[in-house]
Amino acid sequence: MLKAEKEFNVVFSEYLSDRKEAPEEFPFEIKKVEENVNKQLLHDFTGERTGFIQVGKKKWFFPSGYRDQAADFYNFEVRESDVWIVTFPRSGTTWTQEMVWLLANNLDYEKAAEIPLVVRFPFLEFSCFVHPEVKAEFLRENSDSALRSQMIEDISAPICDYLTKFEGRRFIKTHLPLSLLPKNLLTAGCKVIYIARNPKDVAVSFYHLNRLIRTQGYKGDFTTYWKYFQENLQPWTPYWDHVLEAWNLKHESNLLFMFYEDMVKVNTKRAIMRVQDFLGTNYEDEEICALEKHLQIENFRKNSSVNFDLLKNLGILIQGEQEFIRRGKNGEWKNEFHGELNEMADKWIEENLKGTDLRFPD
pLDDT at 12: 45
Mean pLDDT check: name the lowest of 23-37, 42-56, 348-362: 23-37
pLDDT at 245: 98
pLDDT at 17: 36
Residue 320's pLDDT band (boundaries 50, 70, 90)? low
Q: 10 Å Cβ neighbour count for 191? A: 20
Using left for φ > 0, alpha for ψ between -120 and 50, and beta otherwise, residue 353 falls in: alpha
Full 3-state SS string of 181-242: CCCCCCCCCCEEEEEECCHHHHHHHHHHHHHHECCCCECCCHHHHHHHHHCCCCCCCCHHHH
Cβ proximity of 317 and 308 under 8 Å = yes
Task: Report the chain's mean pLDDT, rounded to a whole number.
Answer: 89
- Closest to 50 in 3D by CA, of 61, 64, 62, 39: 64
pLDDT at 131 over 70: yes
Q: Does domain 2-17+25-33+44-353 have CATH number 3.40.640.10?
A: no
pLDDT at 5 over 80: no
Residue 286's pLDDT band (boundaries 50, 70, 90)? very high
Residue 96's pLDDT band (boundaries 50, 70, 90)? very high
Q: What is the pLDDT of residues 241-279, one digit of tens each?
A: 999 999 999 999 999 999 999 998 768 999 999 999 999
Does the reported pTM lie above 0.95? no
What are the backbone dihedrals phi and psi of residue 75, each rounded to the nearest 5 degrees, phi first?
-100, 10
pLDDT at 266: 65
Tell me the percentage of the chain whose pLDDT exceeds 90: 78
Residue 126's pLDDT band (boundaries 50, 70, 90)? very high
pLDDT at 323: 53
Average pLDDT over residues 226-239: 97
Round to whole Å and give the CA distance between 340 and 303.
38
- Closest to 84 in 3D by CA, of 65, 104, 69: 104
Average pLDDT over residues 113-136: 95
pLDDT at 330: 58
Mean pLDDT check: name the lowest of 194-208, 303-317, 321-335: 321-335
Residue 312's pLDDT band (boundaries 50, 70, 90)? confident
pLDDT at 303 over 80: no
Residue 322's pLDDT band (boundaries 50, 70, 90)? low
Q: What is the pLDDT of residues 51-88, one digit of tens each?
A: 999 999 999 999 999 999 999 999 999 999 999 999 99
Average pLDDT over residues 94-105: 96
Q: 10 Å Cβ neighbour count for 216? A: 20
